[in-house]
């Protein structure tokens, strides 16, 4: 199978390469295993230096990589540029995370003549499986901590973002990282499946859909020694209370739902309005503002909503839209593909207010990835929290308006790993953990906490000389 990418900007091919075959995958992982053992013995200071060199390389070439992201995955320039900034910031954030959360240390004060030490052993080889939507930033959020912690990495970029993957590989090598410490394989899901089966793999780090997370979980059954970190999708709610001015609602809800053409895992999929005197105005303002959003390809300077990753994704989104209509949703802004490109889908909004409880539960269980928002009116704040939590997923959620006490009630009841107040569901902070609860992950949040799953703690009790002290005397 050949992996090919065509530029959204020029229409020219920008990547064409054969998928890595089974034998090559085996060789790459064998080399990674050996390289990991050497890299683990490189000093932490040298590893930090290497990672900083990577950050400096990305900074120095930011226009180039930003344009490549736009070309390959269709992100609008400001959005691609934001991704590059987040990727650069990830370097210092990951170093700080390691210093504060995973640095070898002697516990103070010492317990009499006995010292207590904790050190961290890398897991060996981390297999990083990237998504297409943040092809630089999200794999980087796992690769950087893995390397800092002393692991070798084998990276498989999304088959839809291989050119960006290749750029990242070159960036690491040009930053001085030994070649075998950071290698890549290219291909689709079957390539990942072959790699996961290899005995050298110490951890699998997926950012992707729930279906793929479940498939990997099944594949690894019986191999508990392999670390599995799953950053999965969501069906994210945003609650709008009565007090919020309609134009603020329009801006915050449409941004949450349609930024990056709805292709962020944190994008709002359901907007739940607490019915009151203003809710008609709030919903009308949202629909009008959304209708005015200008869709376009990355080369179009007026564009506010870019394309989906490809025409197949647009067709899949249309199927979801039809399914929602079938469940009884009413169109407030109908689905439409822009005639200029089969992946350019205009934002659409459906109303689910009159749907049966079973229908609402079915909507909450769906996962879609594009500019499609479902709105629903409920009678009070408690009903809004109940509606928001009616999903097996638990990635992001937001509350607009209300008091701090109401926000605390929301945060406790909504069941999401990222819960915001008076802001969009998107735009997660790099200095915080980032992970989903329930069906959105497997208790391995990334973001600031990604470093936690790149090594295992090793505890020691140290005595200056052999001692026959009662071991129960060490109580803490």
Ligand X SMILES: N[C@@H](CCC=O)C(=O)O
Ligand Y SMILES: NC(=O)c1ccc[n+]([C@@H]2O[C@H](COP(=O)([O-])OP(=O)(O)OC[C@H]3O[C@@H](n4cnc5c(N)ncnc54)[C@H](O)[C@@H]3O)[C@@H](O)[C@H]2O)c1
Binding region for ligand X (CB under 6 A): 133-134, 264-266, 426-428
- Give the residue with the Cβ less far from ligand Y, 393 or 410: 393
Task: Give CA 201 to chain center in angstroms.
Answer: 22
> Could you list the residues that contact ligand Y (CB under 6 A)?
129-133, 138, 156, 158-159, 188-189, 192-193, 206-209, 212, 215-216, 231-233, 265, 367, 369, 395, 436
Please, what is the minimum distance in Å from the beta carbon of residue 239 to ligand X? 18
Q: Which does 20 bind (CB under 5 to 8 A by kind): ligand Y, ligand X, none?
A: none
158 binds, among ligand X, ligand Y, none (CB under 5 to 8 A by kind): ligand Y
Q: Who's near 377: CB < 8 A, 6+ residues apart?
A: 272, 273, 274, 275, 279, 283, 353
Which of ligand Y, ligand X, none binds 427 (CB below 5-8 Å, type-dependent)?
A: ligand X
The CA distance from 401 to 418, in Å, is 17
Structure token pair of residue 373: 């928002």
| Cβ–Cβ under 8 Å, residues 230 and 216 | yes
Least distance from ligand Y to the Cβ atom of residue 55, Å:
21
From the candidates 83, 159, 231, 304, give the one annotated as an active-site residue: 231
Residue 428 interacts with, from ligand Y, ligand X, none (CB under 5-8 Å by kind): ligand X
Which residue lies nearer to ligand Y by CB, 370 or 401?
A: 370
Least separation in angstroms between CB 317 and ligand Y: 12
Q: Which of ligand Y, ligand X, none does 136 bind, CB closer than 5 to 8 A by kind? A: none
CB of 456 to ligand X, least distance (A): 27
Least separation in angstroms between residue 130's CB and ligand Y is: 5
Is 49 tagged catalytic?
no
């Amino acid at each position: 199978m050949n992996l090919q990418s065509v530029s959204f900007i020029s229409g020219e091919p920008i990547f064409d390469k054969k998928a890595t075959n089974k034998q090559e995958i085996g060789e790459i992982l064998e080399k990674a295993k050996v390289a990991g053992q050497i890299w683990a013995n490189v000093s932490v200071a040298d590893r930090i230096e290497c990672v900083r060199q990577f950050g400096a390389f990305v900074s120095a070439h930011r226009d180039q990589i930003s344009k490549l992201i736009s070309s390959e995955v269709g992100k609008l320039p400001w959005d691609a540029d934001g991704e590059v900034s987040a990727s650069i910031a990830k370097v210092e954030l990951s170093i700080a995370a390691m210093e504060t959360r995973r640095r070898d240390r002697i516990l103070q004060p010492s317990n009499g003549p006995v010292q207590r030490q904790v050190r961290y052993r890398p897991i060996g080889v981390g297999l990083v499986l990237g998504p297409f939507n943040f092809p630089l930033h999200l794999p980087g959020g796992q690769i950087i901590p893995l390397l800092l912690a002393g692991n070798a990495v084998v990276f498989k970029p999304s088959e839809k973002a291989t050119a960006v993957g290749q750029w990242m590989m070159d960036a690491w090598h040009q930053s001085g990282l030994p070649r075998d410490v950071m290698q890549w394989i290219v291909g689709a899901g079957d390539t990942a499946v072959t790699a996961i089966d290899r005995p050298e793999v110490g951890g699998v780090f997926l950012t992707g859909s729930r279906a793929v997370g479940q498939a990997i979980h099944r594949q690894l059954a019986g191999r508990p020694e392999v670390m599995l970190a799953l950053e999965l999708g969501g069906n994210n709610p945003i609650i709008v209370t009565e007090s919020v001015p309609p134009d603020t609602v329009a801006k915050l809800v449409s941004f949450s739902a349609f930024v990056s053409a709805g292709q962020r895992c944190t994008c709002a999929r359901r907007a739940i309005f607490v019915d009151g005197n203003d809710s008609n105005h709030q919903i009308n303002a949202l629909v009008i503002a959304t209708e005015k959003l200008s869709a376009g390809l990355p080369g179009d300077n007026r564009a506010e909503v870019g394309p989906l990753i490809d025409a197949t994704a647009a067709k899949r989104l249309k199927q979801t839209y039809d399914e929602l209509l079938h469940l009884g949703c009413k169109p407030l802004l109908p689905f439409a593909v822009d005639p200029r490109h089969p992946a350019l889908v205009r934002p659409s909004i459906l109303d689910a207010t009159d749907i049966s409880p079973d229908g609402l539960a079915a909507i909450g269980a769906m996962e879609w990835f594009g500019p499609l928002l479902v709105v629903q009116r409920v009678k009070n704040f408690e009903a809004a929290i109940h509606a928001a939590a009616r999903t097996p997923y638990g990635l992001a959620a937001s509350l607009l308006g209300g008091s701090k006490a109401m926000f605390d009630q929301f945060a406790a009841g909504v069941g999401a790993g990222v819960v915001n107040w008076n802001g969009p569901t998107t735009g997660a902070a790099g200095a915080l953990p980032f992970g989903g609860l329930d069906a959105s992950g497997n208790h391995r949040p990334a973001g600031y906490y990604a470093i936690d799953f790149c090594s295992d703690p090793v505890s020691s009790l140290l005595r200056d000389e052999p001692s026959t002290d009662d071991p129960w005397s060490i109580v803490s």
